[in-house]
């Protein structure tokens, strides 16, 4: 499969071109193949259980925070669906029912499949766990200087800290 990006005169295009390329790459390299090990007991009408799992992944990657967002964000994205190998996206209610049908065994299968997909690309397996993993999480809203490492101007609601520290 050759992936080609360019401008078109068509009236309908996709706003998720990078996601379409990522999914085409995943298909070409069979990255999501481990999802076939998840055997969900359900009838197949338009989409297989694995297709629905992939559509849930696409919805997460496209920024959908809930299943309700799927219909408004992805329902009319036919170009993205075609790049993923589907004629269209499933309705959010169908995806929700499919996720409700997952048993504990299906969840374990899904957990193993996700580990198999992401583990080869994870930086965590390269970390030297003999030492500490430093995690700095500061929500104090204290001011910092221009030379502070990775400093960025941000917004903190509520009471501001005075410059003198009182």
C-alpha distances in angstroms, 54 versus 61, 76, 130? 10, 17, 36
Stretches where the chain sits below pLDDT 50 are none
Q: At what angle do helices 92-100 and 49-61 cross, to 10 degrees?
A: 110
Return the pLDDT at 15.
81
User: What dihedral do alpha carbons 31, 41, 91, 108 form, nearest 10°?
Assistant: -50
In a domain, 31, yes or no: yes
Return the pLDDT at 108.
94
In a domain, 108, yes or no: yes
Which residue range(s) make up the domain with 76? Answer: 17-118
In a domain, 91, yes or no: yes
Number of domains, the chain = 1
| Integer-rounded Cα radius of gyration of the chain | 22
Return the pLDDT at 46.
86
Tell me the pLDDT tens digit for each residue of 61-75.
Answer: 999 999 889 999 898
In a domain, 104, yes or no: yes
Length of the chain: 166
In a domain, 73, yes or no: yes
**In contact, 160 and 141? CB cutoff 8 Å:** yes
**CB count in 10 Å sphere of residue 155:** 5
In a domain, 9, yes or no: no
Write out the two tokens for 122: 């994870």
In a domain, 113, yes or no: yes
In a domain, 40, yes or no: yes
Return the pLDDT at 58.
94
């Amino acid at each position: 499969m050759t992936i080609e990006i360019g401008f078109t005169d068509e009236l309908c295009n996709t706003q998720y071109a990078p996601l379409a390329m990522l999914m085409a790459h995943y298909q070409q390299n069979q990255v999501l193949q481990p999802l076939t090990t998840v055997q969900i007991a359900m009838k197949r009408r338009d989409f297989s259980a694995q297709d629905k799992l992939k559509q849930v992944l696409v919805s997460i990657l496209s920024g959908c925070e809930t299943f309700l967002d799927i219909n408004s964000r992805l329902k009319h994205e036919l170009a993205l669906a075609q790049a993923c190998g589907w004629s269209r996206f499933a309705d959010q209610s169908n995806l929700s029912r499919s996720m409700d049908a997952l048993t504990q065994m299906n969840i374990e299968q899904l957990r193993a499949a996700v580990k198999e997909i992401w583990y080869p690309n994870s930086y965590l397996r390269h970390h030297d766990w003999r030492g500490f993993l430093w995690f700095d999480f500061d929500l104090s809203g204290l001011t910092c200087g221009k030379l502070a490492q990775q400093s960025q101007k941000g917004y903190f609601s509520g009471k501001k800290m005075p410059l003198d520290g009182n």
